[in-house]
Structure 1
Amino acid sequence: MAMTKKVTITLPVELLESMKTHTDNISGYLAALAERAERRRLLREELDRYQDEFGAFTDQEMAEAQALLYGTEELGHAA
């Protein structure tokens, strides 16, 4: 199990109440959101490094990536 550390945060009341309608584990809910955000940030940094080294992604590459991520079947037609 990952080590944890207790912290105090301040949230708007409306946001906290909204989260409570989805979970009874606010700490776990926020940890999952933070982990997802951190993965997206790290991926964005890696993609930026890749493009700095090899150039911008082509329309075809973007269409192929979208197909892999979202199941788009028409690779030749980038939206």
Structure 2
Amino acid sequence: MAKTKKVTITLPVELLESMRSHTDNVSGYLTELAERAERRRLLREELDRYQDEFGAFTDDEMAEAQALLYGGEETGQAA
């Protein structure tokens, strides 16, 4: 099990109520969201490093990546 540390945060009441309507484990819910955000940040850093070294992605490369992520020409809709 991962080492944890208890912290106190302040949330708008409406947001907390919304989270509780989806889960009884608000701590776990927030941990999952934070982990996703951290993965996106690390990926963005890696993509930026790649482009700094090799140049910006071409339109063809972007289209191929979107096809792999979203299945075809569609964008913004995960398969």
Q: Given the two structures, how large is their TM-score scaled by the length of structure 1?
A: 0.89
Whole-Å separation in 2 of the counterparts to 1:4 and 1:46: 27
The one-letter amino acid paired with 2:39 is: R
Question: Structure 2: which 5+ runs fail to align?
Answer: none
Moved segments of 4+, more than 2 Å: none
The one-letter amino acid paired with 1:51 is: Q
Structure 1 counterpart of 2:50: 50
In the alignment, structure 1 residue 37 sits paired with structure 2 residue 55: no
Aligned length: 74
- Please give the root-mean-square deviation of Cα atoms over the aligned residues, in Å: 1.3
Structure 2 counterpart of 1:61: 61
Q: Given the two structures, how large is their TM-score scaled by the length of structure 2?
A: 0.89
Whole-Å separation in 1 of the counterparts to 2:48 and 2:10: 33
Return the offset for 1:71.
1.1
**Bigger RCO of structures 1 and 2 (CA < 8 A, at least 6 apart):** 1
Q: Secondary structure at the match of 2:22?
A: coil
Question: Structure 1: which 5+ runs fail to align?
Answer: none
The one-letter amino acid paired with 1:39 is: R
Whole-Å separation in 2 of the counterparts to 1:71 and 1:27: 34
The one-letter amino acid paired with 1:33 is: L
